Amino acid sequence: MARNKEKLVLLLDVGPSMHGVLSEVEKLCSMLVEKKLIFSKYDELGVVVFGTEESKNDLTTEVGGYQNITVLQDIKVVDGDLVDTLQKLPRGRVDGDFLDAIVVGMDMLIKKYKDLHKGKKRLCLITNAIHPIKDSFEGSKEDQVMTIAEQMAAQGMKIESIVVRGRLSRDANKGVMDENDHLLSIFSKKTHTRIVYVDTPTSLLGALKTRRVTPVTVFRGHLELSPHMKIKVWVYKKTQEEKFPTLKKYSEKAPASNKLATHQVKVSYEYKSVDGSSTSVIPPEQRIKGYRYGPQVVPISTAEWDAVKFKPEKGIKVLGFTDASKIKRHCYMKDVYLFIAEPGNTRATLAVSAIARAMKEMNAVAILRCVWRQGQQNVVVGVLTPNISQNYKIPDSFYFNVLPFAEDVREYQFPSFNSFPASWQPNDQQQKAADELVQMLDLAPSGKEALLPEFTPNPVLERFYRHLELKAKQPDAAVPPLDETLKNIVEPDPELVAENKSVFDALHRHFELRQNPKLKKSSRQWYQEKQSGSNAHVSSGQAVNSIENQPPVKIEKIGDLTPVQDFEAMMSQRDNPEWVEKAIKELREKILALLIHSDEGDKYQKAVECVAALRKGCILEQEPGPYNDLMHHIRQYCEEKGIKSLPQLLASRDLTLISNDVTAEEARSFFVKMEPKPDV
């Protein structure tokens, strides 16, 4: 792990023209260190700022020059102190020279590591590059940059440049910006790294790759076009979902004096057999896995599993070719894979390029059957799409996407709007207002996308890491409010909404928002309003205050006056799961009591209301048994007593059996069975 550690120096422009985005730079760099503490805790990092009034670096002392550059933190293993340092960057008062800052960063890496760790040393420059750099004593600026870039390549260093423009560069000299962009492009070409231009705080937040993921092949072998034609290829994952880090349990039982304690919690299991009064531990070789099949447990040994397992051979085979239009984009599943020819294999490179270009010319794709590893149980079928390179130094390749099998396809049928009555159909004005609203919500109205995928971070993960860093320092700290930069990702753009106010006004005019009188209040809401004592003479604010100030009163028994309301109130009390069971049991007893003590059906209507409430409660709790048992009991009672009016009332309210406990046919025919048989 230590041999793969990265050595990084951050070169941060803190001059006056960067003050508007320094707060975002602080968040970005802090997030970089926080992720390294989780995923790459052996990485080393240094911080250099330029644009400061003072000068504090080794080159100023040793050879002179390199003014207005401060080494804020020497290269060291990442820790929590680095986060604090990056969250309080100084605000400089002079325009810095990014080329001098690059030389200072190179000097730090050379002195620290010399010729060691080639390829693991990196510089990251964040600046707006709108100010001219100093002239060279010998040769042109381009010659100077070329010399530095060649020295950087010889030392195995790479530089990544993030140029912040946008509103900050409106009054800048375009000639100076073009010259600086050209000089930075030389570094990019010589060190084979990227230069990124961002114009918003949101895109800046996603410009720097805060987590370094080393690509690993998922397959190395032959791409088989036929039994007599095979091409050696390597397969990588091109995209992968970034998930939450695995959080492990932490133990405080280790003594504080033990500095080597890992504080990790290890969980082990013992299997015991109870025979009479003795308990014995079963060793691993005497255990066998069991799988539930209904109420039974079926033991299946490892040998039996191996005998029935499907064991396909490792390999990738082309099943055929088809037109690209026949494979829909929405059918792609899982992550994207990249197929390249085996590095260093000229014949494989030419073969991949020839096939890819032929497929591109014919607008064709290939259907593949893939088994990535030997003994892998699942087989994937997917589509291979050609990827023609625009750079002569980069060979052609393929993209691979997994396709669904028949059982993976989900068909969702939605009724047509034409099936609704004419009164529900929108008129021309309503249709126009809705169309304008949809068009207004376009993320790229002028052809430029507002939230670029490659520069938009995952807001959930960003918020998680920031809160994690805060909790590490202050365990009792409350959850902070959502950051303004993240709000730009998850909430509507205020400027966009203000510019299109007329669209919202038109929507309000043509669509009237009314409360649905048929929509019943939830039992919890009804119960709270009942206990608050709110009425028509109390304002809404007073009603809300009365609900908040008064403690909820618990209903512990279903009364005779309002059994349905009491039942709903008891069902809404979730402090103890026994309330649900008690409410169902008491309402069932109340229904039976109403039937028994009814005088010529005077209490049947009230009993039916209780039955309806019980049915609804049992469906919500997914407990159909008590309700269905009650209905069978009522049917038997009515048949014995010759009662016809009660079944008719139940049928008029469609109070049948709950079908997920019985078959649908039994539920439909339940009322038919309740009718008394005619005398023969």
For residues 424 and 467, is the Cβ–Cβ distance under 8 A? no
Amino acid 549: pLDDT: 42
d(CA 206, CA 511): 39
Amino acid 325: pLDDT: 93
For the chain, how many residues are written? 680
Closest CA to 337 of 382, 371, 379, 374: 382
d(CA 71, CA 651): 84
Q: How many CA atoms lie within 13 A of 5 on its CB side?
A: 18
Strands 380-387, 364-371: parallel, antiparallel or unpaired by DSSP? antiparallel
d(CA 70, CA 48): 6
Any bridge partners for residue 273, and if so which? 280
Sequence-separated (6 or more) residues with CB below 8 Å from residue 163 = 127, 128, 129, 181, 184, 195, 196, 197, 198
Neighbour-count burial of 596, counting CB atoms closer than 10 A to its CB (0-12 exposed, 13-18 middle, 19+ buried): exposed
Give the Cβ contact number of residue 543 at 10 Å.
Answer: 16
Kindly list the averaged pLDDT for each block of 10 residues, start to end, along the chain of length 680. Answer: 74 89 88 84 88 88 85 88 87 88 88 72 88 79 85 85 78 82 85 82 79 84 92 92 80 81 84 69 86 86 84 91 92 92 93 95 95 86 93 90 88 78 84 88 73 82 84 83 83 81 88 68 50 40 37 68 83 71 85 81 83 84 81 83 80 77 66 50
Amino acid 410: pLDDT: 79
pTM over the 0.85 mark: no
Amino acid 601: pLDDT: 73
For residues 28 and 208, is the Cβ–Cβ distance under 8 A? yes
Closest CA to 49 of 24, 69, 29: 69
Triad 539, 542, 547: Cα angle to 5°: 125
d(CA 580, CA 546): 27
Amino acid 539: pLDDT: 36
Amino acid 551: pLDDT: 45
CA 327 to chain centre: 26
Amino acid 607: pLDDT: 85
Amino acid 518: pLDDT: 59
360-364, long-range: CB < 8 A, 24+ apart: 360/386, 360/388, 363/323, 363/324, 363/325, 364/321, 364/322, 364/323, 364/324
Amino acid 2: pLDDT: 52
